[in-house]
Amino acid sequence: METRQFGHRARLALSPALALKADDQAHAARTVWNLLHAWWQMMPKEKRTLADADAAIRQARRDVDFLAVLPAQAAQAVLKTYFQAWKNCWDGRADAPNFKARFRSTLTVDVPQGRDLNIVRVHRRWGMASLPKIGRVRFRWTKDLPVGKQAGKENRITGARLVKDTLGWHIAFRVQTLEKAPETHQGPEVGIDVGITVPLALSDGETYKHGQWLTNREQARLLGLEQRAAQRKKHRKPGERTSRRLHHTYDQIAGLRARAKRRALDWQHKTTTDIARTYSVAVVEALQITSMVKSARGTIEEPGKNVAQKSGLNRSISGQAWGRTVTMLTYKLARQGGTLAKVPAPGTSRRCSACGLTTPGSRETQALFVCKNSDCAWSGNADHNAARNILHLYRMGLALIPAAGRAVARRAPRVKPATAR
Ligand SMILES: [Zn+2]
């Protein structure tokens, strides 16, 4: 038996009044974050301690009236998240924390204590939970949660967070369960390549494809909205506030983009689940997180490759989304008793997977690989070839990280993000 911790996100059904309350709390939480960040920048290094920060927050709650809408525990959670954000930065997982702007940050409120939630299932499709200083709310029941009689010391909800996106307020539960440890996966090994002609190419010849994330009609609508927004922005006088209409247009644009993202995410989840069920070991290229976050366009000295394919809404699963694919594969494989392995990337797309030689001109087109070594002359799909190389590297024992648990790409210690780029 082993403990499993995971998140479960459900849609909240809030009345307009309750949604406003949640908005107020989230903006108060955002303000606490901003005050904390200002405090951090002002303080000398040795005074940036948790205790001092806590005292600063308590003082702010006494001084600023509108912070009172935020429950004390949620304010404490902001403090915890802020310090964690710095840890993530120092470990090379993220950039340094920054101020949260009113319109460009995700609204969130923490409910750190699971027992405050008082979750009850009231209907086949609805559950109810108590939110501090908001009240009793309904949420969509789409997964069996350990509540009521099923809850215990090992199986329980340890906390939650409210998150607002383009579809409205959601609640993300933190769930802890005790489950039987998976038996070792008996499936075959597979190499996976992020293709240019296909989104995912596997070493056994299998490919995973997807269509466009937005239909032609939706794309046309998005273009129209973007042009409208640009037009309105152009006619704004300097210093003039963004109009309600423009905000509305921005919301519509964000809505369409979010729809595309949800579809991509759905595809990724289905694909990675399928791979995790079929294969015992998945081998991927070890890519630098920093180079993935970099824009596809690159710099003037080093222009990026395939800029057109990598940018735009209909881009395939590559670049940034690839990091998410790897993360999903890591935990899904672990749950099925399999593992994810990473191998060094260079040359996998140019080397022949049959004879192992890199002969110039072998990659005839984006899609076609024909080995120019006269003794070999293997030919096949270029992405398939790369996937076979990746698997071969793993079988040679070149795996970098026997990734179990979380996929964490680390930079060299003490290298700041800006210099690593
Ligand atoms: Zn060859």
pLDDT tens figures, 121-170: 999 999 999 999 999 999 999 999 998 888 888 899 999 999 998 899 99
- Asked if 39 contacts 60 with a C-beta cutoff of 8 angstroms, the reply is no
255 inside domain: yes
Percentage with pLDDT > 90 across the chain: 54
Q: 3-state SS of the chain?
A: CEEEEEEEEEEEECCHHHHHHHHHHHHHHHHHHHHHHHHHHHCCHHHCCHHHHHHHHHHHHHHCHHHHHCCHHHHHHHHHHHHHHHHHHHCCCCCCCCCCCCCCCCEEEEECCHHHCCCEECCCCEEEEEECCCEEEEEECCCCCCCHHHCCCCCEEEEEEEEEECCEEEEEEEEEEEECCCCCCCCCEEEEEECCCCCEEECCCCEECCCCCCCHHHHHHHHHHHHHHHHHHHCCCCCCCCCHHHHHHHHHHHHHHHHHHHHHHHHHHHHHHHHHHHCCEEEEEECCHHHHHCCCCECCCCECCCHHHHCCCCCCCCCHHHHHHHHHHHHHHHHCCCEEEEEECCCCCCCCCCCCCCCCCCECCCCEEECCCCCCCCEEEHHHHHHHHHHHHHHCCCCCCEECCCCCCCCCCCCCHHHHC
What pLDDT is stored for residue 288 in this prediction? 55
CA 75 – CA 79 distance, rounded (Å): 7
User: How is residue 19 written in tokens?
Assistant: 């949604």
273 with 134, same domain?
no
198 inside domain: yes
18 inside domain: yes
| Chain segment 44-81, per-residue pLDDT in tens | 998 899 999 999 999 999 999 999 999 999 999 999 99
Determine the distance separating the centroid of ligand 1 and the alpha carbon of 356, expressed in angstroms: 6
416 inside domain: yes
CB atoms within 10 A of CB 112: 17
Determine the distance separating the centroid of ligand 1 and the alpha carbon of 351, expressed in angstroms: 8
- Report angle CA 320, 323, 328 to the nearest 5 degrees: 135
What pLDDT is stored for residue 303 in this prediction? 53
Exposure class string for 70-88: b at 16+ Cβ within 10 A, else e:
bbeebbbbbbebbbebeee
CA 354 – CA 26 distance, rounded (Å): 57
Q: Residue 304: pLDDT band by 50, 70, 90 thresholds? A: low
Q: Which of 152, 179, 206 is the last residue of a domain?
A: 179
Determine the distance separating the centroid of ligand 1 and the alpha carbon of 399, expressed in angstroms: 23
Looking at the structure of the chain, the number of domains it has is 2
Determine the distance separating the centroid of ligand 1 and the alpha carbon of 314, expressed in angstroms: 34
**Domain span holding position 17:** 2-179
Determine the distance separating the centroid of ligand 1 and the alpha carbon of 416, expressed in angstroms: 42
User: How is residue 96 written in tokens?
Assistant: 């340094």
197 inside domain: yes
Q: Residue 298: pLDDT band by 50, 70, 90 thresholds? A: low
Highest average pLDDT, of 90-104, 129-143, 227-241, 391-405, comes from 129-143
153 with 298, same domain?
no
What pLDDT is stored for residue 236 in this prediction? 86
Determine the distance separating the centroid of ligand 1 and the alpha carbon of 378, expressed in angstroms: 5
Determine the distance separating the centroid of ligand 1 and the alpha carbon of 362, expressed in angstroms: 9
Determine the distance separating the centroid of ligand 1 and the alpha carbon of 105, expressed in angstroms: 51
* Neighbour order of strands in the sheet with 2-13: 107-111, 156-165, 168-179, 2-13, 135-140, 126-131, 120-121
pLDDT of 83 > 60? The answer is: yes
223 with 338, same domain?
yes
Determine the distance separating the centroid of ligand 1 and the alpha carbon of 114, expressed in angstroms: 59
Determine the distance separating the centroid of ligand 1 and the alpha carbon of 346, expressed in angstroms: 17
Determine the distance separating the centroid of ligand 1 and the alpha carbon of 333, expressed in angstroms: 32
What pLDDT is stored for residue 400 in this prediction? 74
357 with 410, same domain?
yes
CA 64 – CA 29 distance, rounded (Å): 12
CA 123 – CA 129 distance, rounded (Å): 13
184 inside domain: no
Q: Which residue has the higher pLDDT, 36 or 356?
A: 36
212 with 132, same domain?
no
Determine the distance separating the centroid of ligand 1 and the alpha carbon of 374, expressed in angstroms: 8
244 with 207, same domain?
yes
Q: Which of 179, 204, 239 is the last residue of a domain?
A: 179
Q: Residue 411: pLDDT band by 50, 70, 90 thresholds? A: very low
Percentage with pLDDT > 70 across the chain: 87
Determine the distance separating the centroid of ligand 1 and the alpha carbon of 311, expressed in angstroms: 33
Determine the distance separating the centroid of ligand 1 and the alpha carbon of 197, expressed in angstroms: 21
- Report angle CA 194, 284, 94 to the nearest 5 degrees: 90
100 with 214, same domain?
no
Mean pLDDT of the region 170-195: 91
Determine the distance separating the centroid of ligand 1 and the alpha carbon of 389, expressed in angstroms: 12
Highest average pLDDT, of 8-17, 196-205, 371-380, comes from 8-17
**Mean pLDDT for the chain overall:** 85
Determine the distance separating the centroid of ligand 1 and the alpha carbon of 345, expressed in angstroms: 19
What pLDDT is stored for residue 401 in this prediction? 55
302 inside domain: yes
Q: Which residue has the higher pLDDT, 97 or 285?
A: 97
Determine the distance separating the centroid of ligand 1 and the alpha carbon of 24, expressed in angstroms: 64
What pLDDT is stored for residue 211 in this prediction? 85
306 with 357, same domain?
yes
49 with 166, same domain?
yes
135 with 221, same domain?
no
Q: Which of 134, 154, 179 is the last residue of a domain?
A: 179
61 with 195, same domain?
no
Determine the distance separating the centroid of ligand 1 and the alpha carbon of 380, expressed in angstroms: 11
245 inside domain: yes
Determine the distance separating the centroid of ligand 1 and the alpha carbon of 326, expressed in angstroms: 29
52 with 127, same domain?
yes
| Chain segment 356-404, per-residue pLDDT in tens | 888 888 888 888 889 888 888 888 888 899 999 999 989 888 777 544 4
Determine the distance separating the centroid of ligand 1 and the alpha carbon of 280, expressed in angstroms: 28
**Dihedral Cα 139, 140, 144, 146, nearest 10 deg:** -10
